[in-house]
Amino acid sequence: MNIVDIITKKRDGGKLSKEEIEFFVNGYTKGEIPDYQASALLMAIYFQKMDKEETFQLTDVMRRSGDTIDLTAITGIKVDKHSTGGVGDKTTLIVAPLVAACGVPIAKMSGRGLGFTGGTVDKMESIPGFKTAMEPEEFLAQVNSIGMAVIGQTGHIAPADKKIYALRDVTGTVENLSLISSSIMSKKLAAGSDAIVLDVKCGDGAFMKTPEDASALGKTMCEIGQAAGKKTVALITDMNQPLGQAVGNSLEVIEAIETLKGQGPADITELSLRLAGTMIYVGGKASSIEEGDAMAKDALESGRGLEKLRQFIEAQGGNPQVLDDYSLFGPAKLSLDIVSDSYGFVQKIKAESIGLASQHTGAGRLRKEDPVDLSAGIYLHKKVGDKVAAGDVLATAYGNDQAKLEIGAAEAMRAFVIGDDAPEKEALVKEVLGL
Ligand code: URA
C-alpha cells in the first residue's frame, strides 16, 4: 500500500478501504506521511466526499489514535455537550451547572479558542485563580462530590485529529461533512461519556451555512454516536448573529453569570435552557425533553444553577466572589464605542466579523501559542431586529491596547448590516435530531 495510490484513488472518486484509511491516519500521525501528501488527500476527500462507511471508519481510527477516558468511576449517566463552533457561545458555563444541579454528572473536556471562535478554557481562565488542568483522579473525585468538572483537552485524546485538524485549518479543507463529523465524534467518543448532546451551528458564522447542510452534519454525527452505543442528540441552531451580547473571555463569563441570575439576554437564555433540558432528558433524569426543559428552568429560577457554578469555581481554585463583584475580573482599561451612521433596523450582525473584531482587540489568538487579553472583546448593544438611529451606539470594543482596539472596532462596524425593513425573526433552534 502506498499513499500516492490512495490519493489518486480518492481523486478519481473511489471508495477507500478501512486499511487505506488506517494507513493514511496512522502514517500521518507518526510523521511518516508528509504534509503535502496529507493535504492532497484531504483536498481529494473535500471534493469527492466520503460515504457513510468511510466516515465511520475514519472516526474510529482517529478515536483509537490516543487515550480514551474511563469515566466508569463516576456514578450515573454522564452526558457530554459539544458545539460545532460559534461566536459568543458561552453556553457550557450556563448549561453545565444547570444540568449538574438536576443530578446529571458532567465530566467535560473543553477547548481553547482559535481564529474567530472562542473556547471555554480561555473563558474559564479569566476567573482569578481558576485551574483548567488537574490529575484524572482529582477530576473524577470532583464530579462525584459536586456533580461537575470541566478541564482543558489533554494532548492524548485523538492526537490524529489534532494533527489533521491543524492541517485542514490552513489548507481550506475544514468545511466537509465527513471531515467535521469524524473530527468531532472521534474526540467525543474518546472522552468517555455515555450520551452526547450536539449543538450544530447553522448560518453565516458557522461552518455549515444552510439548514440542509447543518442537518446532514447533525444526522451523520448522531448515527456515528448511536453506532458506538451512545445516545446522541443534535440541535440545529442559528448562528446568523453572535449569541448573546458579550464576545470575549471575561465579558462572556459575566454574561453567563448574569444568565444564571435570570438576567441574561433572551437568545442565550433560551438556547441554554433547551440544551440543558435535552441533556437532563438523555441523562435519564426526565422522561421527556419537555420535562427536562422544565427542570432546567426551575434550576435557573431557583438559583440552584448559580449555586452550582459557585461550587464549581471554588472546587477548581477560582475566586467565587466574582459572582458578586465583577471588578475582580480586572476590567479592560480602554473602550471604544461603535456608532451607527444610519437609521433603520439591524438586518444582520455577521458573527464571523464580530469574532474577528474580538480577536483583533486581543481576546483571541492569531497563532496557537499567542497569549490572550482576557478582558478584551466586543459588547453588542444592538441585536438583529433592533431599531437604530444615526448616533446610536451599536457596540463597544474593550481592550488594553489602543491600536488593537481601533482595528477591532473598525471590523465590528463592518459586521452590522442596517436596512429599512424589520427582518424576519429566525428560529433559534431549527431542528432536533436523534430522538
Ligand atoms: N470542530 C472540530 O473539532 N472539528 C471540526 O472539524 C470542526 C469543528
List pLDDT tens digits, range 116-153.
Answer: 777 899 999 999 999 999 988 999 999 999 999 999 87
Annotation says 168 is catalytic? yes
pLDDT on residue 56: 98
Ligand 1 pocket check for 113: Cβ under 6 Å:
no
Ligand 1 pocket check for 118: Cβ under 6 Å:
no
Ligand 1 pocket check for 177: Cβ under 6 Å:
no
Cβ-based neighbours of 283, under 8 Å, separated by 6 or more: 76, 77, 78, 79, 99, 103, 104, 105, 195
Cβ-based neighbours of 83, under 8 Å, separated by 6 or more: 89, 91, 92, 198, 199, 201
Ligand 1 pocket check for 84: Cβ under 6 Å:
yes
User: Where does the pLDDT of residue 207 fall: very low under 50, low under 70, confident under 90, or very high at 90 and above?
Assistant: confident
Nearest CA residue ID for atom 3, ligand 1: 184
Annotation says 82 is catalytic? yes
User: Where does the pLDDT of residue 72 fall: very low under 50, low under 70, confident under 90, or very high at 90 and above?
Assistant: very high
Tens digits of per-residue pLDDT, 248-296? Answer: 999 999 999 999 999 999 999 999 999 999 999 999 999 999 999 999 9
User: Where does the pLDDT of residue 223 fall: very low under 50, low under 70, confident under 90, or very high at 90 and above?
Assistant: very high
Ligand 1 atom at minimal distance to the Cα of residue 179 = 6
Q: Which of 81, 82, 163, 308 is catalytic?
A: 82
Q: Which of 178, 184, 198, 199 to mutate to test the pocket of ligand 1 (most atoms within 8 A of CB)?
A: 184
- The Cα–Cα gap between 9 and 20 comes to 10
pLDDT on residue 24: 98
Q: Which of 83, 126, 182, 183 is catalytic?
A: 183
Q: How far is the CA of 335 from the centre of ligand 1 (A)?
A: 33
Ligand 1 pocket check for 85: Cβ under 6 Å:
yes
Q: Which of 162, 168, 219, 350 is catalytic?
A: 168
83: left (phi over 0), alpha (psi -120 to 50) or beta: beta
Q: Which of 83, 84, 161 to mutate to test the pocket of ligand 1 (most atoms within 8 A of CB)?
A: 84
Q: Which of 59, 175, 183 to mutate to test the pocket of ligand 1 (most atoms within 8 A of CB)?
A: 183
pLDDT on residue 114: 66
- The Cα–Cα gap between 201 and 209 comes to 9
Q: Beta-strand (E) ranges in 313-392?
A: 334-339, 344-349, 377-380, 387-388
Nearest to 335, CA basis, from 241, 251, 244? 251
CA 180 to chain centre: 13
- How many other CB atoms sit within 10 Å of the CB of residue 341? 11
Ligand 1 pocket check for 95: Cβ under 6 Å:
no
Annotation says 183 is catalytic? yes
Nearest CA residue ID for atom 6, ligand 1: 180
Residue 112 in this model has a pLDDT that exceeds 90: no
Copy the grid coordinates of residue 93. Answer: 458555563
Residue 29 in this model has a pLDDT that exceeds 80: yes
Instruction: Report the chain's mean pLDDT, rounded to a whole number.
Output: 95
Mean pLDDT of 8-28: 98
pLDDT on residue 153: 78
Copy the grid coordinates of residue 102. Answer: 438536576
Q: How far is the CA of 346 from the centre of ligand 1 (A)?
A: 30
Residue 201 in this model has a pLDDT that exceeds 80: yes
Q: Which of 161, 194, 199, 373 is catalytic?
A: 161
Q: How far is the CA of 314 from the centre of ligand 1 (A)?
A: 31
The 3-state secondary structure of 73-138, one letter per residue: CCCCCCEEEEECCCCCCCHHHHHHHHHHHCCCCEEEEECCCECCECCHHHHHHCCCCCCCCCCHHH
Percent of the chain clearing pLDDT 90 (strictly above): 87
Residue 155 in this model has a pLDDT that exceeds 70: no
- The Cα–Cα gap between 82 and 78 comes to 14
Q: How far is the CA of 160 from the centre of ligand 1 (A)?
A: 13
Q: How far is the CA of 161 from the centre of ligand 1 (A)?
A: 9
Q: Which residues of 199-217 are buried (b: 16+ CB within 10 A; e: fewer)?
A: bbbbbbbbbbeeeebbbbb
- What angle separates helix 52-63 from helix 18-29, to the nearest 10 degrees? 40
Give the ranges where 191-339 is alpha helix by DSSP (H): 211-227, 249-260, 266-282, 289-301, 304-315
Tens digits of per-residue pLDDT, 323-333? Answer: 999 999 999 99
DSSP state of 427: P
pLDDT on residue 23: 98
Nearest CA residue ID for atom 5, ligand 1: 180
Beta bridge partners of 277: none
Copy the grid coordinates of residue 84. Answer: 460545532
Copy the grid coordinates of residue 424. Answer: 424576519
- The Cα–Cα gap between 46 and 7 comes to 12
Q: Which of 207, 221, 224 to mutate to test the pocket of ligand 1 (most atoms within 8 A of CB)?
A: 207
Q: Which residues of 302-319 are buried (b: 16+ CB within 10 A; e: fewer)?
A: eebbbebbbbbbebbebe
pLDDT on residue 185: 97
- How many other CB atoms sit within 10 Å of the CB of residue 174? 17
Q: Up-side HSE of residue 153: CA atoms within 13 Å toward CB?
A: 21
Ligand 1 pocket check for 165: Cβ under 6 Å:
yes
Q: How far is the CA of 106 from the centre of ligand 1 (A)?
A: 21
140: left (phi over 0), alpha (psi -120 to 50) or beta: alpha
Order of strands across the sheet that contains 416-419: 387-388, 344-349, 416-419
CA distances, 87 to each of 32, 209, 244, 351, 394 (Å):
36, 14, 9, 6, 17
Tens digits of per-residue pLDDT, 352-371? Answer: 999 999 999 999 877 767 78
The answer to whether the beta carbons of residues 258 and 251 sit under 8 Å apart is no
User: Where does the pLDDT of residue 196 fall: very low under 50, low under 70, confident under 90, or very high at 90 and above?
Assistant: very high
Residue 30 in this model has a pLDDT that exceeds 70: yes
